[in-house]
A and B are shown apart, each in its own frame.
Chain A
Amino acid sequence: MAATVWIIVPPAWRALLNDADPGSLRCQAATVRAALEWLIAAHPALAPRLLQDGRLPRWTNIFLGEENIRDLGGLGTTLRDGATLTVLPAMAGG
Chain B
Amino acid sequence: MIAVPAGTAWIGTPEASLDALAGQQQYPRSWFEDESPQHPVELAAFWIDVHPVTNAAFTAFTAATGYRTAAETRGFGLVYGAGYWQETPGACWRHPGGAGDRIDGRMDHPVVHVTHIDARAYAAWAGLRLPTEAEWEYVAHGPTWRPWPWGTGFDACRANGAEYGAVRPVRNLEDWRGWWARHFDEHGTVPATTPVTAFSPQGDSPFGVTDMAGNVAEWTATSYRLYDPRRRYDPLYHAAAGRYMVVRGGGWMHLRHQMRTSERVAVDPAYANHATGFRCAADTPRTA
- Assess the B78–A92 pair: CB atoms within 8 A: no
Residue numbers in B under 8 Å from A8 (CB-CB): 235, 239
Pair B234/A59 contact, Cβ less than 8 Å = no
Would B31 and A58 count as touching, CB distance under 8 A? no
Contact with B along A32-69 (1 / 0, CB 8 A): 00000000000000001100100001110101000010
Q: How many B residues, CB 8 Å from partner?
A: 27
Our pick among B31, B85, B235, B264 for the contact of A59 (Cβ within 8 Å) is B85
Query: For the complex, would chain B's binding face be called helix, strand, loop or mixed by DSSP majority?
Result: mixed
B200 to chain A, nearest CB (A): 24
- Is B107 an interface residue when CB atoms closer than 8 A count as contact? no
> Which of A48, A58, A68, A92 interacts with B266 by CB under 8 Å?
A92
For window 50-94 of A, CB contacts with B under 8 Å fall at 52, 57-59, 61, 63, 68, 86, 88-94
> CA separation between A49 and B85, bound complex, in Å?
9
The answer to whether A86 touches B239 (Cβ under 8 A) is yes
Let me know if B68 is at the binding interface, CB within 8 A: no
Chain A proximity of B122: nearest CB distance (Å): 20
B96 CB within 8 Å of chain A: no
Separation of A61 and B270 alpha carbons in the complex (Å): 11
Q: List 14 A-B contacts (CB under 8 A).
A: A48-B84, A58-B87, A59-B78, A88-B240, A90-B268, A91-B247, A91-B271, A92-B239, A92-B266, A92-B267, A93-B34, A93-B240, A93-B264, A94-B254
